[in-house]
Structures are given as C-alpha cells and as structure tokens.
Amino acid sequence: MTSRLIQILLGLSLLLNTFVLAGFIYRSWIAPPFDMHGMPPPPRGAPGLPGQPGGPRLNPVEMVVRDLDLDADQRKVMQDLFDQYAKERRERLQAIARLREQTSLEISRMPRDMAKIDALVDQVSQLRAEQQKETLRTLTQLEPSLRPGQRERLQRLLIDRVASPPPPPPPHRPPGGGPPRPPQ
C-alpha cells in the first residue's frame, strides 16, 4: 500500500474513534440518565386524552367502564349515575385536600398538638373509606344494565381491583438513576 492510502485510513480511523469517544462522553456525563423501567415523560404541549400520559386521570368508575367497553346506549342510561359519582368524588377529594392542609398547619405549629393531628388523620382515613365504599356501590349499580359477558368482566374487575392486595412497589433505585459518574 502506498503511504497516502495508509494516511487516509488512519485519518478515517481517528475520525471514527473521535465520534465514538464524543458519544460516550455525552451519554455518560452530559445527557440525563435513561430510565427504561419508568413511564415515558408526558408529551409537551396540549394535554393528552383522559387516562393517557399528560392527560387527565380517570376516576376508578371511568376506568372500569372503559374496561367493560360499554356501547353508546348503555352509557346514556348510566350517565346520571356517572355524573353523580363524579360530583360526590370531587367534593370528597376537596374535603380531603382541606383536611391535609389543616394537618400540615398543625404539624408546623410548635408545640404540636398530637390529639388534633390524630383527629385530622382519622377524618382523612374516614373520607377515603367512604370514597371506596361509594365506588363499590356505583360499580354494583352498573350491573343491571350490562350484558352477561360484561357482568362477568365486572365481577373479575371488582375482585382484581378491590379484593386483591395492591401490587408491590417498584424496587428502590439509588438517586441519580444509574452508576456513579467517573471523576472528571
């Protein structure tokens, strides 16, 4: 080979190695860590559809209704039930938010009155229990308007989402999302 060809190949090799090294440095030290286990970040701009990342969250009854795949006639028959449930849920969640705010105020006071704090926590727990009971009542009121296959599906969903234990939390990850960066 001629010396000119060797010089060109060495130059190309140097260029390729430079790009690989620059990519490694960018990925290791500059770019944020990539989290493969979590949900993708919500889309930027306009909010997404209900129940989708970036969109409003569905309440428990809406999630079950979505899973039951109701037709338009069934939805129309049950619309008053859905509206009443949503109104009561919203009011109860507002009451919980007010109680949590009161709890944080009581915790920040010195000296702390643990009797007041305990009573506020008990009230929040009571409201959450009432909300779960109302969800179950609403879901069981759907049953007469469902087709037989939907009734069976509702029964399975109630068992899976209410009677089953909650899923275990994700494994603990160290802060920063990955191995430590090498010293610079």
- Tens digits of residue pLDDT in 60-85: 888 888 888 888 888 888 888 888 98
pLDDT score at 34 = 56
Q: What is the CATH number of domain 60-163?
A: 1.20.120.1490
Domain boundaries, the chain: 1-30, 60-163
Inform me whether the pLDDT recorded for 42 exceeds 60.
no
Going by pLDDT thresholds of 50, 70 and 90, the confidence category of residue 56 is: low
Measured CA to CA in angstroms, residue 77 lies from 83, 126, 154 at distances of 12, 31, 17
Q: Which has the higher per-residue pLDDT, 152 or 47?
A: 152
CA distance 131 to 24: 51
Q: What is the pLDDT of residues 89-117, one digit of tens each?
A: 999 999 999 999 999 998 888 888 899 98
| This prediction's pTM | 0.58
Closest CA to 59 of 67, 51, 47: 51
Kindly tell me the burial class for residue 27, based on how many C-beta atoms sit within 10 Å of its own C-beta (0-12, 13-18, 19 or more).
exposed
CA distance 163 to 180: 42
